Amino acid sequence: MRVLTFNIHHGRGPDGRLDLRRVAEVIRAGEADVACLQEVDRHLSPRSDFADQAGWLAADLGMDLAYGANVDFDPPAPGRPRGRYGTAILSRLPLRDNGNTFLPGAPGNERRGLLSVTVVADGRPVEVFTTHLQDTDAAERLDQARAVAALVAGRPGPVVLTGDFNAQPGTPEIRALTGFLRDAWQQAGAGAGITYPATGWRIDYVFTSPDVGVSSVTVPPSDASDHLPLLADLRLPG
């Protein structure tokens, strides 16, 4: 199963240009079976032209969609859709049992969540999660990482956890997860694996349960976002 995780920055690249087609091309070129996306708008604001970015990507790529709205605003005018911001999972594989769980956070800070789906790969259910943790408060981020660990740990089948964790390898937030999950980059990546070029940090991850193997993991080049995508080829048990 090929999994991609990508903070798409609502489709705006480092050049400042809003172009969701570039995001779609990253997913298409990567031939991802499952694409886990963060910073995805749905009718949110002028920054993304009030577009339903999640719906547009799913339709353009011919993939099933699960969406987790972590921020939800009233419509700007009667008859207009609500403005939402959050995470999305697109899948070419059969998708079922999706849900979004809010994570702990301080009042006034952006609400964060853990989006979960079950996909069926070769007849085997695989639980896939994606999240986007707090970027400005390390203590809150650690609380969120621990909440994610509590939600994910002990699942009976194969598990894949992805997202923008806003934390570098070896930090307490990442150690809260690698106590029971494996970092795909550590298994099969080569080099620094930088996913946020502005700072030279590796903050986007694919984690797997120990029963999932990793054949390869790469950071493809892209001008679609301020982050780079992370693409992993996984070997499922059985």
Query: What pLDDT digit, counting tens, does each position of 40-73 carry?
Result: 999 999 999 999 999 999 999 999 999 999 999 9
Find out whether 128 and 33 touch, Cβ atoms under 8 Å: no
Model confidence band, residue 106 (pLDDT cutoffs 50, 70, 90) = very high
CA–CA separation, 113 vs 86, rounded Å? 8
Residue 137 has pLDDT above 90, yes or no: yes
Two tokens at 178?
A: 């690698």
Residue 238 has pLDDT above 90, yes or no: no
**Global confidence as pTM:** 0.97
SS3 146: helix
Residue 79 has pLDDT above 90, yes or no: no
Two tokens at 92?
A: 């070419």
- 119-151 burial, b at 16+ Cβ within 10 Å, e below that, comes to bebeeeebbbbbbbbbbeeeebbbbbbbbbbeb
Those residues with Cβ within 8 angstroms of residue 56's Cβ, 6 or more apart along the chain or in another chain: 20
Sign of CA dihedral 184, 186, 192, 194: positive
pLDDT digits (tens, 9 = 90+) for 160-205: 999 999 999 999 999 999 999 999 999 999 999 999 999 999 999 9
Q: What phi and psi values does residue 176 have, to the nearest 5 degrees? A: -65, -25
